[in-house]
Structure 1
Amino acid sequence: MTTHPAARAMRATPEGLLWEPSERWVRATAGGVTVVDSRHPLLVWEPRLPVPQYAFPREEVRTDLLRPARNPLTGRHTGSTVFYDLEAGGEVRPDAAWTFPADDLAGHIAFEWFPRTGTGLDRWYEEEEEIFVHPRDPHTRVDAVPSSRHVRVEIEGTVVADTRSPVLLFETSLPTRYYLPRQDVRLDLFETTDHSTRCPYKGTADQYWSWRGGGAVPPDLVWSYPDPLPAVAAIRGRLAFFNEAVDLTVDGERLPRPVTSFSASLRT
């Protein structure tokens, strides 16, 4: 009898790696060349990293494009000592791929995404959807839910947004983000910047704003997704603030500023 995928348990290796099979069709390109075309990827979590990576069966990788690394970055990945340079599209990308030492993962190759210029692959796809930054964690949930809560945002004592029609974005391990209608935000108090970010769950936030009023306020604390991924389409064009850097009042209750992985980068 075939076991349903949902019943498969995450597995651990003696090296501290966690892994589980994925049924997504994953492809990746470099220099216009398809380097990975896999229908049997594994998701792998390293002890030091909060997000997963993909590892692919060798037969679903263009191994003819891989060469033993000239300067292998041993120590970069858990226990890994075998690294490969990638030759694709007329250029060499050092340490672009590696193997994990675990017996469970033998015969699989992992690739860098975009952590270092000239190393990661260019574009990644799950089925027909392009994905960014890292694989989506199947144990992370992101929900964008319209609400009638009363949300007020203050910066340095100034009310910069006030609405009763937010969209609340609930994301595993992060505080609730409040996406507000543009007309309910005092954008005249902000200036646009050229900052942009990518998220594997929401898409590309290529609209950011910074506070004009001075003081101990970090830059780029307001953002918007003009064209979000379909799963969170309800946030399209709305504006959100870093809870970590503003004062939020929801239904009359002042929320404490959370401490998250973004807090350090928001220090002025």
Structure 2
Amino acid sequence: MSTRRTAAPVRVTPEGLGWEPSGRWVRGRTKGVTVVDSRHPVLVWEPGVPVPLYAFPREEVRADLLRPAQHPRTGTHTGSRIFYDLRVDGEWLENAAWTFPAADLAGHLAFEWSARTGRGLDHWYEEEEEIFVHPRDPYKRVDALPSGRHVLVEIDGTVVADTRHPVLLFETGLPTRYYIPREDVRLDLLRSTSHSTACPYKGTAEYWSWRGGADIPADIVWSYPEPLAAVAAVKGLLAFYNEAVDITVDGERLARPDTHFGAALSARSADRAP
């Protein structure tokens, strides 16, 4: 007779922090120095923040490289009271680490990820795989499925993509993204940009902007030239932000979704305006 094991539910502290132990071996490095080497990390979800972070037992952290922060970032990270500066290669990185006030997480330290906040540790690994931006959420799923749907993309009334061979990417909590073969995209209507982003689920993306004169946000098209293995089907294909273009699937015009990406596109365009 076998016994089926079920995962323990995420625990929630009185401060509203969700947390659960992770079985992954996690390491964090910066400037070639391993600051975190933990086989007992804890995943933590802060209230109102859609992605998790890691906290680590203090004994699995190079605490000798830390000092109480000279200018603590009060009011951040769910009431955290104690922040630490990190010294690596003769340089102090301010507010690189902190503790949570929750009793459940006593004795644990969390660290900033430079790819997400612009400060902190810049290389992270789960087992032997490098991960980017933030830990992958065990409750989030990403599926890239080849499809026979007819997908039409228009910008300001101009057809820029028309395909019957898309790859549909389904990601928990986000609108479906439609990845289109390059031969089915009017690349002459787009220009490549220097913008790039990293995603812990898909990899590093490159971007294009619309060449037309309409008031269209910059960087509305992207592609993963070397995606992570889990979404290999989107390699080299182009996707358009549903928030900024008109997409028709099998004859049905999709409503533009309201997401934080739409706000970010508008803000980025405003920053680049003359």
Pairwise TM-score range, normalised by the shorter structure: over 0.9
Asked if residue 131 in structure 1 is aligned to residue 131 in structure 2, the reply is yes
Contact preservation (8 Å) 1:44, 1:52:
yes
Partners of 1:46 and 1:245 lie apart in 2 by 29
Displacement after TM superposition at 1:48 (Å): 3.0
Contact preservation (8 Å) 1:169, 1:178:
yes
- What secondary structure sits across from 1:70 in the alignment? coil
Displacement after TM superposition at 1:174 (Å): 0.4
Structure-1 residue corresponding to 2:192: 192
Partners of 2:7 and 2:52 lie apart in 1 by 19
Structure-1 residue corresponding to 2:104: 104
Q: Residues 145 and 116 of structure 1: is their aligned pair in 2 closer, same or farther, counting only changes over 3 Å?
A: closer
Q: Residues 55 and 89 of structure 1: is their aligned pair in 2 closer, same or farther, counting only changes over 3 Å?
A: same
Structure-1 residue corresponding to 2:264: 265
- What secondary structure sits across from 1:196 in the alignment? strand
Displacement after TM superposition at 1:90 (Å): 2.2
Contact preservation (8 Å) 1:21, 1:42:
yes
Displacement after TM superposition at 1:266 (Å): 2.2
CA deviation profile, 1:133-171 (whole Å, cap 9, x unmatched): 111111111000010111010111111001111000000
Asked if residue 57 in structure 1 is aligned to residue 45 in structure 2, the reply is no
Contact preservation (8 Å) 1:38, 1:57:
yes
Structure-1 residue corresponding to 2:221: 222
Partners of 2:265 and 2:36 lie apart in 1 by 36
- What secondary structure sits across from 2:260 in the alignment? coil
CA deviation profile, 1:190-246 (whole Å, cap 9, x unmatched): 1111000011110100x2111111112111100100001111010000000000011
Asked if residue 31 in structure 1 is aligned to residue 31 in structure 2, the reply is yes
1:83-232 alignment, distance < 5 Å: 83-114=83-114, 115-117=116-118, 119-205=119-205, 207-232=206-231
Partners of 1:246 and 1:142 lie apart in 2 by 23
Contact preservation (8 Å) 1:32, 1:89:
no
TM-score, normalised via structure 2 length: 0.93
Moved segments of 4+, more than 4 Å? none
Amino acid at match of 2:121: L
Partners of 1:7 and 1:218 lie apart in 2 by 43
CA deviation profile, 1:15-60 (whole Å, cap 9, x unmatched): 1111011111111101110001111100001113111110001111
Displacement after TM superposition at 1:8 (Å): 0.8
Amino acid at match of 1:241: F
Aligned residue pair count: 264
Partners of 2:208 and 2:123 lie apart in 1 by 27
Structure-1 residue corresponding to 2:272: none
CA deviation profile, 1:105-127 (whole Å, cap 9, x unmatched): 0111000112444x310101111
Amino acid at match of 1:262: F
Contact preservation (8 Å) 1:30, 1:89:
no
Structure-2 residue corresponding to 1:236: 235
Contact preservation (8 Å) 1:26, 1:39:
yes
Q: Cα RMSD over matched residues? A: 1.3
Q: Percent identity?
A: 72
Amino acid at match of 1:213: G
Contact preservation (8 Å) 1:31, 1:90:
no
TM-score, normalised via structure 1 length: 0.95
Q: Residues 120 and 3 of structure 1: is their aligned pair in 2 closer, same or farther, counting only changes over 3 Å?
A: farther
Amino acid at match of 1:138: P
Amino acid at match of 1:51: V
Structure-1 residue corresponding to 2:251: 252
Partners of 1:192 and 1:124 lie apart in 2 by 29
Partners of 2:249 and 2:195 lie apart in 1 by 28
Structure-1 residue corresponding to 2:43: 43
- What secondary structure sits across from 1:262 in the alignment? helix
